[in-house]
Amino acid sequence: MALRATKQALRKEIKRRLNALSDEEKQRQSVVVSQKLFRHPEYVKCRRIAVFLSMNDEVRTEEVINNIFRCGKSCFIPRYDSSSSHMDMLKLNSLQDMKTLPLTSWNIQQPAEDDSSREDALDTGGLDLILMPGLGFDQSGKRLGRGKGFYDSYLKRCIKHPKGKPYTIALAFKEQLCQYIPVDDNDMLIDDVLYEDDK
């Protein structure tokens, strides 16, 4: 149980750092991170991409979603099942489509439970790239989520898909970077973390 306590303490510390950021600063860093993403070779070559709809303490993804449609890529967004750690990535058909999505109790938009008309990424061609949310990240690809395990269990399902595991990129504020994140066997590593650095 020590691992859980360590993670909880770290979540609290990162939330404290994020709460101290102004909306302007979050927006500024989001632009920097988005520009880095648009130049990333995995983003440039991917056709099918999953992206999270950002909450207030996450890098803003509106500009990323705009870019996905501008580049003619297929955009998939999460639908979380709040009673379990199950998540599906369902196709977002257009920017207009996004405006009609219902809000969940977590105040994030997602396709409705009874919306069966959308293409499910894993039922069709799988995914090339997943943009990963999270609370904290370290340089070696370890990620601290919110404790529900949605993305870890989804990546395990992707591995079983004929296409295999998609490339994973985390979008982060620099305040979310940690020296070290404690993980266990269920925690999946991510391939790359994009944040504003001095480069």
Tell whether 108 is covered by a domain.
yes
Please count the structural domains in the chain.
1
Domain assignment present for residue 100? The answer is: yes
In a domain, 187, yes or no: yes
How large is the angle between the packed helices 23-39 and 62-70, nearest 10 degrees?
30
| Residue 83 binned pLDDT confidence (cut-offs 50, 70, 90) | confident
User: pLDDT by residue (tens digit) across 133-186?
Assistant: 999 999 999 999 998 899 999 999 999 999 999 999 999 999 999 999 999 888
- Judge whether 199 lies within some domain: no
Q: Which residues are annotated as a binding site for substrate?
A: 53, 58
- Give, in degrees to the nearest 5, the angle at Cα 71 between 69 and 74: 55
Please name the amino acid found at residue 68: I
What does the angle CA 37 – CA 108 – CA 145 come to, to the nearest 5 degrees? 60
Residue 6 maps to a domain:
yes
Q: What is the pLDDT of residues 60-78, one digit of tens each?
A: 999 999 999 999 999 999 9
Has residue 79 been placed in a domain? yes
153 assigned to some structural domain: yes
Binding site per annotation, positions for ATP? 7-11, 143-151
**CATH number, position 82:** 3.40.50.10420
* Enclosing domain of residue 6: 2-194
User: Which residue in 134, 106, 135, 133 sits closest to 9, CA to CA?
Assistant: 135
pTM: 0.95
Contact by Cβ (8 Å): 40, 198: no
Binding residues: 7-11, 53, 58, 143-151
